[in-house]
Structure 1
Amino acid sequence: MDMTEKINTELVEQGKNKIMWARNKMPVIRNISERWKREQPLAGIRVAACLHVTSKTANLLITLKDGGAEVALCGSNPLSTQDDVVAALNEVYDVPTHAKRGEDKDSFYNRILTVLDLQPHITVDDGADLITTLHSQRKELLDSVLGGTEETTTGVTRLKAMAKDNYLKYPVIAVNDAMTKHMFDNRYGTGQSTIDGIMRATNYLLAGAHFVVVGYGWCGRGIAKDASGMGARVTVVEVDSVRALEAALDGFEVSSMDEAAEKADFIVTTTGNKNVVDKKHLDKINDGCILSNAGHFNVEINLQALEEMTKEQREVRPDVQEYSFKDGRKVYLIGEGRLVNLTAGEGHPADVMDMSFSNQALSVEYLAKEHEQLAKDVYPVPRHLDESIAKLKLKSMGMELEQLTDEQIDYLNSWEIGT
């Protein structure tokens, strides 16, 4: 055996171990897999997926395959792919996976086209790149597509815009909007994994540091909470008055980006919008500030302005680039401004991805059965599926729901009894 074969074998085994390690904490997905092995609800269905290729994602694809589907997977971000997971999916689990960490933009989109060669009946997306590529470059395949699912806030926003413009050609379920997705994945998953990514990349102390969170949606809430829990002095930047007020009452400072940049030791963007850290903020940013992004695309920090302001740059640690400004200040960017929790870490814990990917799996099953009843629009995850996932998760944690009595049900359905 030559060295290349030895390395590949080790990579496959490493990926297999990582996938099984995640599966230990994914009881809901395991439950769906066992049912699907018996029922085969996806027999004859081809599923194309564009997702972060991690150990948790692998368990979703294995589950879809257990349900009888023919599947193919590509990455949804050039720096979020785990090459050992790719190797294991291809060699151990017979899941065709087309992704490589660090690939360039052309290679990234070519792999999406390769996955679309499957001629899918259902698409599973994270960021909507698969769906938009299908609609723009492989239109001849659209007639055979039954439906799709979308995992992220950013992707759902794009798809709703497509539907508004009458450009969306098949129904899509907004998995991100399920309560058992965004309330847990976005908040607890993003919170923990973002802090983990920053710590792995920098090994700097958060306690006492000025930590700025840009955006106070579910992801921003989680990051702010976890940073505060580690002793950071957290400031929230928001454009929405209600969310800003919520952040203030949650105990955080609220300020403009201009003011926050001047004292920030860490800045994390999580808005889904463009240039929320712009040139005017970089002009006054605190010397030594660590910049990172937890939004889906690398557009939240104005990278072009950062390059133009820089007289010298170098990699100072894995996944950390130092930018030296012409006035002597330095700032540090983690993971090229891409998702910090996946470029510098392993992504969300399996415990929360269990719920997110269970939503994906059950939504795929729902589309396979009910697609004829759905118009070309964006739909929420059916409430009964959302609730079933919550119940299965609680049961796996050894917890039990209280039950309403008949008297209580009658009372809640009546109006006669008052003060």
Structure 2
Amino acid sequence: MIDHTHDIAASSWVPGADSHADFPIQNLPLGVFDPGSEEARIGAAIGDWIVDLGALAAEFSQHIRPPLGTDTLNAIFSQPADTRRALRHRLFALLSDEAHSNLVEPHLHRQVDVRMRLPFQIGDYTDFYVGIHHATNIGKLFRPDNPLLPNYKFVPIGYHGRASSVRVSGEPVVRPWGQCKPIDAAEPAYGPSQRLDYELEMGVWIAGENQLGSPVSIAAAADRIGGLCLLNDWSARDLQAWEYQPLGPFLSKSFLTTVSPWVVTAEALEPFRIAQPARLEGDPKPLPYLWDEFDQQAGAFAITLAVEIRTARMRDAGLNAHRLSSGPLSNMYWTAAQMIAHHTANGCNLKPGDLLGTGTISGPNRDAYGSLMEIAAGGTQPLALPGGEERCFLEDGDELSLRASADREGYRSIGFGPCSGRVQG
């Protein structure tokens, strides 16, 4: 499905779009924005601008026009992939041919002048645990000789998250309160988390719908990937340690999950599909319902993730953000399609706008760890920051920013925009 919209030489007449790090014309991610004096609008990012798709709805012929007058992307992503591709093609034509500039220009908004909203009305949110290095690193803190539980290499592990507390980039991170029990305490106490952490993840937005009782086959699961975003599943590690047995995370995760506002569509990501890394010798082959040869050949993505921190003291001193880690999304042990196939294997129905998190994506080394829990070894090895500060966990005033870019030789790099949040007490 690679076509003319992915041409590295393609250019846009919109000022600055061709040199934009995240949003050249080869990207065209979708989102929802509030221009300030009107209801929220559906738009597409192009450089530093947003084009109002609702205002240009008449330019999309009747047979390819998805509903553009709503304030979420749910209706668009309920349409077949061919419809969304036709929308992309027409939008590409409007933004690449300067003959359309007089038509489109009145409907361009500067991104800095608008407020971004959640792109979907999220019905359900599920967080997986497919970053094998993260699972191994965390496991070693508790089970040094056997970090991975026996089921990890047989089944994509996940838990049902809280959709109501998913928020778009920029939402303040209010330090959560809950029950904690220090090792040397006889009983738990209620108070603010002292071990607040971030998690470097990708989000998978679901397109289409399967009926309750009808699993999605692994061969068809890729068609259910509407697009990707950045995702930070903020975690209160001290609350989690006390509450997670026997049913898993609860208050330690449900207080906030931050996503980047732009949906980088599956169509935009076609050139960046790569082979899923081979499993280690001796690892079990997935059961048949999770195995598809094409998914193994092209089910991963050439995306690099990174996370930066900027503390209150760093901002006061005029210091730039400090990179904590960076690494490839291909550190996923299971593909996004395998996540979807397993999620629906029991007949669970996934709807347009449902959100799946990959779980923390880490690498084998400290400079690629996706959480402070790993970087600081559970609080035993503080991280040194510019200006003389140290961190084991997040303090009030700390600002975390996630970034990602899709890169592959012969194609224009595209990005995901910001995913950030600042901790407050």
Normalising by structure 2, report the TM-score: 0.26
Higher-helix-fraction structure: 1
Higher-strand-fraction structure: 2
Determine which structure has greater relative contact order: mean sequence separation of CA pairs < 8 Å that are 6+ residues apart, divided by chain length: 2
